[in-house]
A and B are shown apart, each in its own frame.
Chain A
Amino acid sequence: MDLLTHWLGNAPDFAVPFALAALGLILTERAGVLALGAEGLMLVGALAGIGMQLGVGVAGVSLLVAMVAAGAVSLLFALMVLVLRINQVIAGLALVFFCQGLTGLAGTVFGWTNRPVSGLNTVELWPLSELPLVGKIFVQNPLVYLTVLIFIAVVWFLYRTQTGLRLRAVGENPQAADAAGIPVLTYRLAAIVAGAALIGLAGAYIAVLSTKMWIADMTGGRGWIAVSLVIFARWSPWRALAGALLFGAIEALIPQLAATGVRLPQYFVLMTPYAVTLLVMIWVALGSRESASQPGALGEPFIREQRR
């Protein structure tokens, strides 16, 4: 029973970075820009957040600065794919390598590596936090609750506002959107920067609120998991949130099982997240026969008056 309580209590902490990064990716990709750079932008957010936290020490400011920093770096990506129309896969990969090098170097030069920071205190959602078994789910740092609100806001924006409709139109059929008078490149630029800000927030969550320190390459491939999460969620924010919770739950379960001293096959346990990904992929593929909800123009550069 203790296992269940601790496990459920720790799961949101692991789920939030996946959820925020996936949401940022969905926002960008809904506008038709294939964003593979999440791993790099998360590192930028993580480093900027830690730098700010070491300097000023106000977590809210650090998280905002992390979002701005990731947004600023994404301008480089926007320049490559929107203006120079470089292949979006290559530009995305280049962005990851660039950010890995940049953050590794900056972290070393400024001496931010391994320096512990204070995060944020947890907030209890009373009386939910008094519930048996699941109570610990409602004792989290404020950004966990805020993530839910961010999801509601982004979904509302994408599906309930005219701007959101236009953004999706740009991703589905930029020529038609252009004919309707929507500035395609402006929308795509905004989607890239806004998405990057959310991805940067995901990175800052890991560094500032979860591990409370910086180490080069500390995101450890979580940006790539977010990329696959988006595909598996078929660009739906709620499904991405569910996927993030699933991954977070598994990541939280592995050490909890190990710590109880149950003798399980070690390599089997470490394999579980990947095995579960495969199973869910198969289940999703078998379960739904509806046409893929991938944005129609995903990965295609927009050139006015060019035939598709």
Chain B
Amino acid sequence: MNGKAKSNVSAGVRIKGFLGSKWGQRAVLLILSAIVMAIFEPKFFTGGNWSSILLAIALYGIMACGMLFVILIGCMDLSVGSMAACAGAYLAFNWVNGGYTPQAFLTGLLLGLIAGVIVGLLHGVLVAFLNLPAFVVTLATQYLIYGYVVWYTKGAFIYPTRLNTGGDIFYFIGNQRFLGLAMPVWIFIIVVIITAFILSKTTYGRRLYAVGGSNRAAELVGINTKRHTIIAFIICSLCSSLAGMVLVSMNMVSGCTTAQGYQGDVLMAMMVGGINLAGGEGDISGAVFGALFVGIINNMIILLGIPSDYKDTIQGVIIIAAVAINVYQSRKAAGIISPAKARRIAEKAAKEEAAKSSQ
């Protein structure tokens, strides 16, 4: 009888349930933005536009995966943009000055990744051992790294192209297509798979949630919270390095303005994706969805011809809306309801009770 009752749940109730879930809301958001675009700018749905949206999503997405680790432990990394610029500069500079050889590429790549490890390590040690707030530490290193990039590139832009580009490895990582998708998208997919695996299948990933949920409680069940913190920062910086190198290859230009302001886009992706900035809550699907949404919104702003002056305003509004929705939902999950709703529920229950007793 129970089973039958279940199957009798009306379609309306089921749709309502779906819309209340995080997946339902994500779908609604995407469909809404698609409708807006369809009305104002049919160019949105062309293949060419989509491949450029996907490239942007891939870049935000790779960084968002790294950021996810740091946010899960309740920290934040504002230096992701500058880290990307730094790694990109290493790659471009060595590629050009090394004579466009595979060895030169490898040197640049390794330097970029090593820089990521060093910066992540520095963040981690400062936060874990000196108990400095991550916000302040990474705000400082953001300037520090950009400053370093200016010094390293002597303030000039590097254009790592040769006239006969097309076959070399530098071009490959940013532009080569494979099975219809550009290389950055493939790299993004691989990073997502690895992140998903680490967070859901390894003890390291599981323990991150504990560290972010309650540092002291995590410590008392034998979790080395300092080590977990340092590794999270290293992963984040490494992801930014990777994204920076892909970006430089994509745009064929590197300099001290590379990836400037990306930390804002990545943080927005986190908030839209429902990742709790206080730590301990959020998953890879949120990071991916967030990157997707931010990519689409940024594309809309360009396509609709909205002056870039307004971009920041629009992003600000979206962040507030995303945070408001998340807060509302967590209140709902915690059983906090408005007094008016409580009264309605009580009246309904009383009526049902009365109906039952009169039967």
Q: Do A and B come from one complex?
A: no
